[in-house]
A and B are shown apart, each in its own frame.
Chain A
Amino acid sequence: MMYSEKVMDHFNHPRNVGELEDADGVGQVGNPVCGDIMKVYLKITDGVIEDVKFKTFGCGSAIATSSMATEMIKGKTIQEALTLTNAAVAEALDGLPAHKMHCSVLAEEAVKAALADYYTRRGEPVPPECRIDDADSCPLGHG
């Protein structure tokens, strides 16, 4: 098995799967050509991420990184969530195989896309930390 026990735990028992009908921010990243798409829903009250759900199309590490990323930002302030990095997600999972690191990039991007959507819906400027560079995650999708 190339995955850590933590990855398998989050794959077999993913946390926060689902949708939020009254979400304050929704972000979707990835594309079907590359084989992974993540969608993150945020419920934000007074600057705190009160609830978070995700849906993911992708491999074992895509599902595990989505699960871990949502767990890492749940109950945190927006400011804290903005500091989430793909490296932190991968580390929290006790590491990922090198060719699966792009999944953790996608998880970070999905969270940031949902936060960007939150700001946009409120008519506020999107903070620079939310900017995503999706060229990292899938070379195929741009070919």
Chain B
Amino acid sequence: MIYADNAATTRLSPAALAAMTPYLTEAYGNPSSLYTFAGEAKAALEGARGTVARCLNAKAEEIFFTSGGTESDNWALRGVAEALGKRGRHILLSAIEHHAVLHTGQWLKKQGFEVELLPVDDQGTVTPEALKKALRPDTVLVSVMLANNEIGTIQPIEELAAIAHEGGAIFHTDAVQAVGHIPVDVQALGVDLLSLSAHKFHGPRGVGALYVKKGAPLLPLIHGGGQERGRRSGTENVAGAVGMAAALQEQLETLEADMARLTALRDKLIGEVLRLPCSRLTGHPTRRLPSIASFTFEAIEGESILLQLDARGICASSGSACSSTSLEPSHVLLAIGLPHPIAHGSVRLSFGEDITEEDVDTVAKSLAEVVNDLRMMSPVWDAAAGKPIW
């Protein structure tokens, strides 16, 4: 099997599992308890916080553990909106955000906020000009993801955050797909809030974090026993936090070498695949995650491509409508200007660090076979002309 769906989730690192195990077994104390036995769990939790903070160039007290990326995004948006709602009601989100952000935005709209989507260009980039144009005196929050999960495009966050700040808005970035895969430095980026999720970088499921810059206005989302210095209640997931920290640290140890290797393999695959007629790369050709290659193929449909790849032992993903339960293709592919018929034929391959050149060659060969096979049975593919008849 070739697992090429690491943007969906990743394999738990053995080092992370080993680091977690004591806190799932013997060291089960509640970090909030006073007795010595709980001290071990408390120390592990704070150790994990320190590690995650160092990996992001943040301070330990700026890291808050959550249940994952979705909670972090919900908290960032609702927490800022509620804190600043009296000052302004205008919120800007990029059109290609994850649903954790977009659907929270829809919810805020129902609460009376004015939520506007920032357009992206045809490579999926939010341009500084687009943000400048959309910012208003009553804009309280701007949220633009660091790297897109479907097309891999990396946003010019430093520039966008600076523009938002000039306009007096708080800046949040969903870095779920980026952390552990490209360098992420909260100070260099200049963001106020940043979401991350452990299972996207070989940590466990069900744990993530929100970086909250000291002084950033943010009300709690989850109320209760006052854990996480009163800002995120709920008995701490010690094992999860420890696993996340161990996985992140491990990823960063070899980050540069992995990025160089994955970029070379990704570009090799892109070169091979684009030789197929009526195929295209989605997202930015160079400012993209090293691990993500995403394509569309005209006259065939994404779910069929995935099922045929699966039959050849390759796990991939698609933004086609048919691979979801809705009839709409991915909002990301529509936002970059692809018409529906083309967006239906999308495939995303996202590699892990253990991918080999041989695997990439197999994927390229299999994809070519699958695309050809499906086109042979497509009523909208003209085999003689080598193009679709829409």
List residues of chain A with CB under 8 Å of any chain B CB: 8, 11-12, 14, 17, 28, 32-39, 55-63, 99-100, 138-140
Contact = CB atoms under 8 A, between A and B. Distances in A.
Interface of B: 299-304, 307-308, 311, 320-323, 325-329, 340-341, 344, 376-381, 390
B28 to A, nearest CB: 37
8 contacts: A12-B307, A35-B340, A35-B344, A36-B322, A37-B380, A56-B379, A57-B300, A59-B302
A39 B327 contact: no
Which of B301, B321, B328 has most A Cβ within 10 Å? B301
Contact of B377 (A17, A35, A99): A17
Given A59-B323, A138-B327, 8 more contacts: A12-B307, A17-B376, A28-B379, A35-B322, A35-B341, A36-B322, A58-B304, A99-B326
A14 B307 CA distance: 13
A48 to B, nearest CB: 25
Contacts of B328: 140
A63 B344 contact: no
Contacts of B326: 99
A94 to B, nearest CB: 17
A39 B307 CA distance: 21
Contact of B301 (A8, A14, A33, A57): A57
Contact of B378 (A8, A11, A55, A140): A55
A49 to B, nearest CB: 19
A68 to B, nearest CB: 15
B340 A140 contact: yes
Nearest to B322: A59
B89 to A, nearest CB: 30
